[in-house]
Amino acid sequence: MNKIVKKEVLSENVVRFAVEAPLIAKSGKPGHFVILRVGKSGERIPLTIADSDIQNGTITLIIQQAGKSTRKICALNEGEYIDDLAGPLGKATHIERFGTVVCACGGVGTAPMYPIARAMKQAGNKVSVVLAARTGDLIILEKEMRSIADEVVIMTDDGSYGQKGLVTQGVEQIINREKVDLCVTIGPAVMMKYVSLLTEKYKIPTVASLNTIMVDGTGMCGACRVTVGGKTRFVCVDGPEFDAHQVDFDEMLMRLNAYKEYE
Amino acid sequence: MGNKEERNELWRKALRESMKNKDRMAIPRVKMPELDAAYRSRSYDEVNMGLSQEQAVQEAKRCLDCPDSSCMSGCPVGVNIPKFIKHIERNEILEAAGTLKETSALPAVCGRVCPQEKQCESRCIHLKMKSQPVAIGYLERFAADYEREQGSISAPKPVAGNGIKIAVIGSGPAGLSFAGDMAKYGYDVTVFEALHEIGGVLKYGIPEFRLPNRIVDAEIDILHKMGVKFITNCIVGKTLSYEDLHAQGFKGIFAASGAGLPNFMHIQGENLPGVLSSNEYLTRINLMGAGREGAETPVFMGKNVVVIGGGNTAMDSVRTARRLGAEKAMIIYRRSEEEMPARLEEVKHAKEEGVIFLTLHNPIEYIGDERGRVKQAVLQKMQLGEADASGRRRPVEIPGAVETVDADLVVVATGVSPNPLIPDAFGGLNVSQRGTIVVNEDSLQTDLPDVFAGGDIVRGGATVILAMGDGRQAAAAMHASFL
């Protein structure tokens, strides 16, 4: 049982929780994820950690309502509990001084990117963050990102905030302006696919953090398997981050929809 | 008291003399009452219904209480088999249950899922006389169930606590058996479990119709009463490191993290939606309750289900598919039925429940429909060749003999590999090429002196009872290391 000590609504469908989890706060690193479950008949949901506070023993989780389970989690209030929370899982992000790092985030993918961008900055990189969403109201963590990044570019599909256009256009502007040494992308699979295609064209090493279906999250079930460089890998134990240029995003998109008709 | 002395106790002698061996031999082996196949193939109710007391006492009379009790040498945990059976013969069922608990932390589980036909029962004197062995497994289950149903379940009395903190990684059969023995020795035992439920493979792997979760919970409850602490949602190696365990004062660690990783065959189309590991399929259903009222975890409802493999997990998967409404549920196995590793009882039950067996076939490709969902499996026909390293005849392809079957759900049950979490996180362990932790065969001690290991993380995919045997062996060795 993990207590929710703080809840904030970030946008229409997105909430931010600070959850008591002192062990995870202490051992978690950027890129790690947790599995959570609410209710005795709830499903196990993987979620990348958005931040940790070792002092207060809490982790930050940012959740978007997408289905029944996430709706139920988002409806929880301060003082209520998440029944099961396990982690930190997966491999942490490889952080080092690359030079210029572009962080391409789509929607709620901005949340797990925040600790990665911050760690990249602390490691001495020049960090450019591209925040993209359908509309301005869905842009999250802009203030937080501005506080740690060298530059924040906002892109919206409808032009209601920042520039009108897709995340790839924001990334390409930076690529055209200066040498980019690494791109990290987190967001919907289809968005990561196009970011990957773009950076491949420019031969920029790119890491994508994949958000596949999981059950246990510890390597046991294989629901999360993806093809990377022609080999089957498990996102939960081999990932969640992979060389984006090697990831078979079309297969991943197909697998993400596997259970649609049963939900 | 040794087994020999116990056998020489007056009550045992008197019981032996009360009936002639010839008359004992003449009693036919009891038949396990089972649910009707048509009914049960659509229900999660337990298939084997258990013996009545009358049946159990009658079956107990078949045991000759022989001087060398060879059955015991077939039991990985060393249950005092004749003693518990003779208690049953005297209608002392609670004493029989007490005898079981002297050596086994999970008798109601073992009575259900142990392959007795390959262990204790395979050594029974009856077999030497061309008679069927005593139904030791059924009797074990009877005694454990009786005690639980009477509500008189008792926890073995531990000796005075010695205050030494012991950590157990994983709450499957190896971990539970180890925890039970260490608690009896007086240690302060904490079991860490990665999932949200205690029981490991007993919960996520073995289905309700073979091993109801409430039976597992009742046995875990006894461990609770013995003072064993359980911490769920804690992944040792991730949530807590080896160093963290030391900092928390743990003086001994038993790694029993199991064979978590499912094997795939790496054939074309294996990553199509609708193709999944038996671990995923069974975990969704057994642990998460998928397919049942109110459960939020979804699962594929196949009409034509194909299960790849010939082990108990394959049988569990295919029988589960029938219960979830599969019209056609099929086992695909590359060898012949004779080489199947599954228990005979599971194969028999599966057949009674309408499962189709396609042996000497091996999948080589899966074909998807226009949405990318699996719709067919392409199978290579096989024949048996020379014996291979396992002693079984090797399946070889029949050139050009290929057929295609419809399949909207494929469950791959071709074995598991050790979970790499602990080997990766504990620096200094000796890890074999196939990912198992290398231990001293006698003590089960690893290269890290305070870490012992057992179960599938050492064996790489074996049985519940062998894992439990490891738990006992490691407990005895770790205990000795503290003396």
Q: Which are the contacts of B331, defined by CB distance < 8 A and separation ≥ 6?
A: B307, B309, B310, B314, B315, B318, B350, B355, B356, B357, B358, B359
* Single-letter residue type at B142: F
Residue A7 main-chain phi, psi, to 5 deg: -135, 135
The pLDDT value recorded for residue B362 is 97
Take residue B46 and report the two structure tokens written for it.
């337990």
The pLDDT value recorded for residue B158 is 66
**Whether B279 contacts chain A with CB within 8 A:** yes
Cα separation, B243 vs B241, whole angstroms: 5
Query: Which whole-number Å values give the CA distances from B445 to B2, B15, B77, in the listed order?
Result: 27, 43, 18
Q: Which residues pair with A185 in a beta bridge?
A: A104, A208
B-proximal residues of A, 226-255, CB under 8 Å: 226-227, 232, 234, 237, 251, 254-255
**Whether B432 contacts chain A with CB within 8 A:** no
**Whether A85 contacts chain B with CB within 8 A:** yes
Question: CA dihedral defined by A215, A221, A223, A225, rounded to 10 degrees?
Answer: 130
The pLDDT value recorded for residue B95 is 94
| pLDDT digit string, tens, across residues B388-442 | 887 888 899 999 999 999 999 999 999 998 888 888 889 899 999 989 999 999 9
Record: contact B234-A262, CB cut-off 8 A: no
The pLDDT value recorded for residue B283 is 95
- Interface A–B counts its CB contacts (< 8 A) at 117
Q: Could you give the domains of chain B?
A: 3-149 (1.10.1060.10), 165-260+418-482 (3.50.50.60), 263-415 (3.50.50.60)
Cα separation, B273 vs B478, whole angstroms: 46
The pLDDT value recorded for residue B259 is 85
E strand or H helix at A254: helix A249-256
Give the three-state DSSP class for A55.
coil
Work out the burial of residue B31: count CB atoms within 10 Å of its CB; fewer than 13 is exposed, 13-18 middle, 19 or more buried: exposed
The pLDDT value recorded for residue A263 is 59
With CA atoms as reference, report the closest residue to A209 among A231, A240, A254, A179.
A240
Give Dmax (Cα) for chain A: 52
Work out the burial of residue B209: count CB atoms within 10 Å of its CB; fewer than 13 is exposed, 13-18 middle, 19 or more buried: buried
Residues in chain A within 8 Å Cβ distance of B196: 37, 44, 83-84, 86
pTM for this entry: 0.92
The pLDDT value recorded for residue A18 is 96
Tokens 């949200």, residue located: B196
The pLDDT value recorded for residue B76 is 85
Of the residues B213, B235, B419, the best mutation for testing chain A's interface (the one with the most A CB atoms within 10 Å of its CB) is B235
Mean pLDDT (chain A) is 94
Residues in chain A within 8 Å Cβ distance of B289: 41
| pLDDT digit string, tens, across residues A40-72 | 889 999 999 999 999 999 999 999 998 888 999
Cα separation, B211 vs B219, whole angstroms: 12
Instruction: Using the predicted structure, report yes or no on whether residue A190 has a pLDDT greater than 80.
Output: yes
B165-169/B188-192 β-pairing: parallel
Give the three-state DSSP class for A187.
coil
Ordered per-residue pLDDT tens for chain B, 483 residues: 678 889 999 999 999 999 999 999 999 999 999 999 988 988 889 999 999 999 999 999 999 999 989 999 988 888 999 999 999 999 999 999 999 988 888 899 999 988 898 899 999 999 999 999 999 999 999 999 999 998 877 777 767 889 999 999 999 999 999 999 999 999 999 999 999 999 999 999 999 999 999 999 998 999 999 999 999 999 999 999 999 999 999 999 999 999 888 999 999 999 999 999 999 999 999 999 888 888 889 888 889 999 999 999 999 999 999 999 999 999 999 999 999 999 888 999 999 999 999 999 999 999 999 888 999 999 999 999 988 887 888 899 999 999 999 999 999 999 998 888 888 889 899 999 989 999 999 999 999 999 999 999 999 888 888 999 999 999 999 999 998
* Strands across the sheet containing A58-64: A51-53, A58-64, A14-20, A2-11, A81-82
With CA atoms as reference, report the closest residue to B408 among B355, B361, B358, B366.
B366
Of the residues B171, B190, B195, the best mutation for testing chain A's interface (the one with the most A CB atoms within 10 Å of its CB) is B195
**Whether A258 contacts chain B with CB within 8 A:** yes
**Whether A84 contacts chain B with CB within 8 A:** yes
The pLDDT value recorded for residue B43 is 85
Cβ atoms within 10 Å of A52's Cβ, excluding its own:
23
Record: contact A215-B283, CB cut-off 8 A: yes
The pLDDT value recorded for residue A17 is 96
Q: How far is A88 from chain B, CA to nearest CA, in Å?
A: 6
Q: How far is B95 from chain A, CA to nearest CA, in Å?
A: 37
* Single-letter residue type at B342: A
- Answer whether B193's CB lies under 8 Å from B231's CB: yes
A-proximal residues of B, 130-189, CB under 8 Å: none
Q: Which are the contacts of B206, defined by CB distance < 8 A and separation ≥ 6?
A: B113, B286, B316, B464
The pLDDT value recorded for residue B1 is 61
B451-453/B250-255 β-pairing: parallel
**Whether B420 contacts chain A with CB within 8 A:** yes
